[in-house]
Amino acid sequence: MIRACLFSVLVGMFVSAAYAQVLPNSRLAAPPSPPPGFLPPPLHPRGVTLETRELGDGVYALMSNRPFTDNAGFIVGSNEVLVIDSHFNGAMGRQIIEAVRRVSDLPIKYLLNTNAFGDHVFGNYVFSDDTIIVAHQSTINALKISSVQGMSQTMARTVGGDISVFDGVELRLPGVGFNGSWEIDLGGKVVQMYWFGKGMSPNDSVVFVPDANVAWTANLIFGKGTIPWARSGDILAYQETLRNFSEALQPATIVPGHGEIVSGDLVRSYRQYLAEIRVLSEQAVAAGITIDDFVATAHVDPNYEIEPSLQGLMTGFHRWNLKVAFNEVSR
Ligand SMILES: [Zn+2]
């Protein structure tokens, strides 16, 4: 049964002008120029297996055997099943459905899309017509002005230029939008979805299962041994979004959209990191350092305990973030 949903949709109609932030395809295709040493996240799904990990009663993470390719998940109630993200293409979407079927025969009634990037939504079209797809209204707005071709081009660098991974993909838009939050009871199992503001993208949403205290954080919080990536170009907004997150939820466990499962403490680490790069940028601007000198050879503070396998990727994210922070401070 849908609780709060209709209400949030109705409320959303009044607040959407303030909340909705559409990222047009043209901007998706042309992010700010990357800093020296920046690496696109390696997301190619070929050969990727999603491993099912039970995190609580009826609560399952689907973890990519090759990080940083996307993770997903599903929740089984006594009446129905809810899936979190549909992954890269039809084949990966079907892999999710098969994983659900190994655990439950109940209908997949809901599919949640946590943002508007193809690696989270391109599997939508292989789910049953009876599956209700839910996303934040800004995700839907962004998808409405997108195309598979445009998004494939945007994501080409994440798959080594092999856009054949998008062959056959049909863009299926979510049918239910929310603003603020949305909640569903699957039968003895409540699932909530929140939008706390702009983060890695304007659309990042968080899925939360209260009785397991587990959150799916998509691109807002990556996995173990990571720092954020302010891809959307706004450090201050990211900080506010994570403050909103912390005030609303204190998950014990985070299933990130990319990377390994991690403790909820990573939210605090992300907030500390963003605050620190603001300070570093203020100091650099005050000292008259140029943006190129500030960014070119920067490395992440070892206190953030970056995963060894992610050093190169996170160094690129860090330099990207410094560039954004420097520009923000200089404005
Ligand atoms: Zn992602």
Distance from the alpha carbon of residue 193 to the mean position of ligand 1, in angstroms: 17
Distance from the alpha carbon of residue 286 to the mean position of ligand 1, in angstroms: 35
Distance from the alpha carbon of residue 140 to the mean position of ligand 1, in angstroms: 16
DSSP helix, strand, coil percent of the chain (3-state; round to 5): 40, 20, 40
Distance from the alpha carbon of residue 222 to the mean position of ligand 1, in angstroms: 9
Return the domain boundaries, the chain: 2-264
Distance from the alpha carbon of residue 120 to the mean position of ligand 1, in angstroms: 6
Average pLDDT over residues 42-69: 97
Distance from the alpha carbon of residue 71 to the mean position of ligand 1, in angstroms: 9
143-160 pLDDT tens trace: 999 999 999 998 999 999
Q: What percent of the chain has pLDDT over 90?
A: 89
Q: What percent of the chain has pLDDT over 70?
A: 90
pLDDT band at 21 (very low <50, low <70, confident <90, very high): very low
Distance from the alpha carbon of residue 124 to the mean position of ligand 1, in angstroms: 15
Nearest residue to 274 (alpha-carbon basis) of 240, 223, 232:
240
pLDDT band at 9 (very low <50, low <70, confident <90, very high): very low
pLDDT of residue 331: 86
Any idea of the CA torsion for 19, 24, 28, 31, to the nearest 10 degrees? -80
Question: In the predicted model, is pLDDT for residue 2 greater than 70?
Answer: no
CB 114 within 8 A of CB 136: no
pLDDT band at 33 (very low <50, low <70, confident <90, very high): confident
Distance from the alpha carbon of residue 89 to the mean position of ligand 1, in angstroms: 13
Distance from the alpha carbon of residue 216 to the mean position of ligand 1, in angstroms: 12
85-102 pLDDT tens trace: 999 999 999 999 999 999
Distance from the alpha carbon of residue 40 to the mean position of ligand 1, in angstroms: 12
pLDDT of residue 273: 98
Distance from the alpha carbon of residue 324 to the mean position of ligand 1, in angstroms: 20
Contacts of 247 (CB under 8 A, 6+ apart): none
pLDDT of residue 90: 98
| pTM of the full structure | 0.91
- Helix H, strand E, coil C: the string for 9-59 is HHHHHHHHHHHCCCCCHHHHHCCCCCCCCCCCCCCCCCCCCEEEEEEECCE
181-226 pLDDT tens trace: 999 999 999 999 999 999 999 999 999 999 999 999 999 999 999 9
Distance from the alpha carbon of residue 293 to the mean position of ligand 1, in angstroms: 30
Question: In the predicted model, is pLDDT for residue 19 greater than 60?
Answer: no
pLDDT of residue 32: 66
Distance from the alpha carbon of residue 70 to the mean position of ligand 1, in angstroms: 6
Domain topology for 2-264: Metallo-beta-lactamase; Chain A (3.60.15)
Cα 21 from chain centre: 16
228-276 pLDDT tens trace: 999 999 999 999 999 999 999 999 999 999 999 999 999 999 999 999 9
Residues facing 177 on adjacent strands: 135
Distance from the alpha carbon of residue 12 to the mean position of ligand 1, in angstroms: 25
162-193 pLDDT tens trace: 999 999 999 999 999 999 999 999 999 999 99
Distance from the alpha carbon of residue 284 to the mean position of ligand 1, in angstroms: 31
CA–CA gap between residue 260 and residue 120 (Å, rounded): 17
Distance from the alpha carbon of residue 67 to the mean position of ligand 1, in angstroms: 11
